């Protein structure tokens, strides 16, 4: 038989496979080379970060991006929900000259049990909203920033600014700009709620719409888009001084809660101060309480305290400068289908306290709660103008314990859960109020306190001017990530190393209270230190002062990175959303510019 045709020989088959493999190798090699070329171009063009993530060229967008994720501390288990505090003995309270009363509306009662129990979890569980919605951000009062910063090179740039005015209150003075505590609310609204808000039409369909809500001392509430500073609504003219920080409903209801900072006369002729609930659907006041409360121990009526809200119990909690702690169930309703929001407040339930040596306002110690109440489980924690730190059970409106901090407690309390110690810790700072003054000087303190027992773990003492209201006006920051184990605090008119009085930023060891570093300056500080963290966990401090400066510091060593002059005294605390900071000024002192609200890019 001759050779068969149509079937290749073994040698031919092997040769073809060899050629195919070589072609395949060449194709793969060419692909690798092309990929390397594109990668090299991208790196030199700055489009790829070393870890492979794309970094877009920064642009000024009208709509802020989603919050930048920041490294979270190692998760710690929440404390047992059944944990309670230890009640102080009757003898110990008697030695303080303490007694208290409970009022339901105007009627005094011997005992009270709340129908729907109040319960607060950890601060990071306070709300699912995107933003900074109350002073200190949550029920622990532990953060003035939301989101994170990326690609931070140490620059502060003015993005927008809006002039605001003043309000003449007659014998109670002329009030300008924004004051203490005066933090803005920043909120990124969800799409369903956004469509119902009383905002300009151009914003109702804008995804990621983020709004700044800023009550000011000129009597108005201002509204801006975060990134551009465009007005989102006409200002609401309240006609009264708004000095403290408002609170947004943590459930996402378009309800704003805020108190009046300086007394006024109502249409009915009552002289006092009122607390108000504002609908952000029709931009109107829908409920008020207050005036001149007959149950108060103090003639002065005002609400500088930022309220806190117990969502499960639908209950608002607010401290009054008149020496009363208020709670009220709002019976709030938000109907998204109908596009309506309402409240039908129940009975005001009030806690009134007495300690030996307390007076209306002309003695060594006086009644009044200016600090913003912090909360954990069923307990409210606050420091008062007379210097007592009090722990009150909100479900019975009774005192559990009191700690004498020996100074006006405007700065309030910050809470930290500690699973290792099976407790919470309270960090309390106060002013040198002059009750123990010698040669115009007194002591100011920062303390760490076991929140379940009231036992003081450590005390840090500072010399400060009693004549110039020295000491702490703002809560401390409890560090995390790179700053874990560190407390950051700011003081005004404190004794400096050169023998003068001035502003002081100080880092303390959380465990011992020992000083790690300090920054001293001539200008005093009333504004809280705002600490932000980048994607690597590095911490930065943003600090405003009464000279009108905003300065960015490295959190690890206190080195100044950048400073910007905002034109006049700053008493307010900023709020930060991602890389944007918002704060208001007073329009007095500093470099002499008028009062304004400013948006600052952090980059």
Q: What is the pLDDT of residues 143-172, one digit of tens each?
A: 999 998 887 889 999 999 999 999 999 999
Radius of gyration over every alpha carbon of the chain, rounded to an integer in angstroms:
28
Planar angle of CA 402, 407, 408, nearest 5 degrees: 90
**∠177-287-256 over CA atoms, to 5°?**
50
In the prediction, which pLDDT does 437 show? 87
Q: Could you tell me what percent of the chain has a pLDDT over 90? A: 83
257 in any annotated domain: yes
**Contact residues for 603 (Cβ-Cβ < 8 A; gap 6+):** 58, 151, 152, 153, 155, 156, 157, 579
Task: Give pLDDT tens digits for 181-190.
Answer: 999 999 999 9
Contact of 100 with 325, CB cutoff 8 Å: no
Average of per-residue pLDDT values in the chain: 90
Q: pLDDT (tens digit, 9 = 90+) per residue, 21-58?
A: 444 444 444 444 434 434 333 333 332 223 323 333 33
The pairing of beta strand 99-104 with beta strand 107-109? antiparallel
Of 239, 256, 238, nearest to 247 by C-alpha is 256
CATH of the domain at 221: 2.130.10.10
Residue 52 lies in a domain: no
DSSP letter string, 384-424: -TTSEEEEEETTTTEEEEEEE-SS--TT-EEEEEETTTTEE
- pLDDT attached to residue 9: 40
| Confidence tier at 75 by pLDDT (50, 70, 90) | low
- Asked if residues 598 and 566 have their Cβ atoms less than 8 Å apart, the reply is yes
**The model scores a pTM over 0.85:** yes
Q: How confident is the model at residue 111 (pLDDT cuts 50, 70, 90)?
A: very high
Q: What is the mean pLDDT of residues 370-379?
A: 98
Please count the structural domains in the chain.
1
Residue 195 above 90 pLDDT?
A: yes
Give per-residue burial for 123-148: e unless 16+ CB within 10 Å, then b. beebbebbbbbbbbbbbbbbbbbbbb
**pLDDT confidence of residue 69:** 58
Rounded to an integer, what distance in angstroms lies between the CA atom of residue 348 and that of residue 398? 15
Give a yes or no: residue 32 inside a domain: no
Mean pLDDT, range 447-458, rounded to an integer = 98
What is the Cα–Cα distance from 510 to 440, expressed in whole angstroms?
31
Domain span at 150: 100-602
368: in domain: yes
* Within a domain: 5: no
Residue 85 burial (CB count, 10 A): 21
User: What letter does residue 438 receive in the DSSP assignment?
Assistant: B
What stretches of 391-527 show up as alpha helix (H) in DSSP? none
Cis omega (within 30 of 0) for bond into 181 = yes
CA distances from 103 to 49, 106, 317, 326, 369 (A): 61, 6, 15, 10, 17
Lowest-confidence region among 66-70, 85-89, 394-398: 66-70
Average pLDDT over residues 389-400: 98
Q: How far apart are CA 232 and CA 214, in angstroms?
A: 12
Residue 584 belongs to some domain of the structure? yes
Convert the pLDDT of each residue in 500-529 to its tens digit: 999 999 999 999 999 999 999 999 999 999
């Amino acid at each position: 038989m001759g050779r068969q045709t149509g079937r290749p020989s073994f040698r031919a088959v092997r040769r073809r496979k060899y050629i195919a493999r070589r072609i395949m190798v060449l194709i793969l090699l060419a692909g690798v080379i092309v990929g390397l070329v594109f990668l090299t171009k991208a790196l030199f063009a700055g489009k790829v970060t070393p870890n492979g993530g794309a970094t877009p060229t920064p642009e000024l967008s009208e709509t802020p991006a989603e919050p930048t994720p920041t490294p979270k501390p190692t998760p710690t288990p929440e404390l047992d929900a059944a944990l309670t505090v230890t009640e102080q003995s009757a003898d110990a309270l008697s030695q303080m000259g303490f007694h208290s009363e409970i009022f339901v509306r105007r009627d005094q009662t011997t005992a009270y049990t709340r129908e729907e129990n109040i319960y607060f979890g950890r601060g990071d569980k306070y709300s699912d909203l995107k933003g900074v919605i109350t002073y200190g951000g949550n029920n622990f009062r532990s953060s003035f920033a939301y989101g994170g910063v990326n690609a931070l090179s140490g620059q502060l740039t003015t993005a927008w600014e809006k002039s605001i005015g003043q309000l003449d209150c007659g014998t109670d003075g002329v009030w300008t700009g924004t004051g203490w505590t005066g933090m803005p609310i920043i909120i990124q609204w969800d799409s369903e709620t956004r469509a119902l808000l009383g905002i300009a039409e151009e914003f109702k369909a804008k995804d990621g719409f983020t709004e700044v809500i800023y009550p000011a001392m000129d009597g108005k509430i201002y509204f801006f888009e975060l990134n551009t500073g465009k007005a989102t609504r006409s200002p609401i003219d309240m006609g009264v001084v708004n000095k403290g920080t408002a609170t947004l409903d943590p459930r996402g209801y378009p309800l704003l809660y805020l108190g009046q900072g300086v007394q006024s006369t109502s249409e009915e002729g009552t002289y006092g101060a009122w607390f108000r609930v504002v609908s952000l659907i029709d931009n109107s006041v829908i409920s008020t309480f207050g005036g001149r409360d007959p149950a108060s121990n103090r003639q002065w009526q005002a609400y500088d305290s930022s309220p806190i809200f117990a969502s499960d119990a639908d209950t608002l909690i607010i401290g009054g400068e008149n020496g009363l702690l208020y709670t009220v169930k709002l019976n709030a309703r938000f109907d998204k289908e109908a596009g309506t929001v309402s409240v039908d407040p129940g009975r005001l339930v009030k806690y009134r306290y007495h300690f030996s040596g307390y007076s209306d306002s002309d003695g060594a110690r006086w009644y009044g709660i200016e600090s913003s109440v912090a909360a954990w489980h069923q307990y409210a924690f606050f420091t008062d103008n007379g210097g007592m730190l009090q722990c009150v059970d909100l479900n019975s409106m009774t005192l559990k314990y009191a700690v004498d901090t020996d100074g006006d407690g405007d700065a309030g309390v910050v809470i930290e859960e500690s699973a290792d110690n099976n407790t919470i810790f309270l960090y309390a700072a106060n002013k040198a109020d002059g009750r123990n003054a010698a040669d115009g000087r007194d002591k100011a303190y920062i303390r760490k306190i076991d929140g379940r027992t009231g036992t003081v773990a450590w005390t840090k003492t500072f010399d400060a001017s009693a004549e110039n209201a020295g000491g702490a006006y703002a809560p401390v920051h409890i560090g995390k990530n790179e700053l874990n184990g560190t407390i950051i605090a700011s003081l005004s008119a404190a004794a400096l190393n050169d023998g003068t009085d001035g502003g002081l930023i100080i880092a303390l060891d959380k465990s011992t209270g020992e000083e790690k570093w300090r920054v001293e300056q001539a200008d005093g500080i009333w504004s809280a230190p705002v600490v932000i963290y980048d994607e690597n966990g590095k911490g930065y401090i943003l600090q405003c002062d009464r000279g009108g400066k905003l300065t960015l510091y490295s959190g690890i060593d206190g080195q100044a990175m950048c400073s910007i002059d905002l034109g006049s005294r700053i008493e307010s605390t900023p709020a930060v959303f991602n890389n944007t900071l918002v704060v208001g000024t007073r329009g007095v002192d500093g470099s002499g510019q008028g009062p304004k609200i400013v948006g600052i890019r952090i980059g």
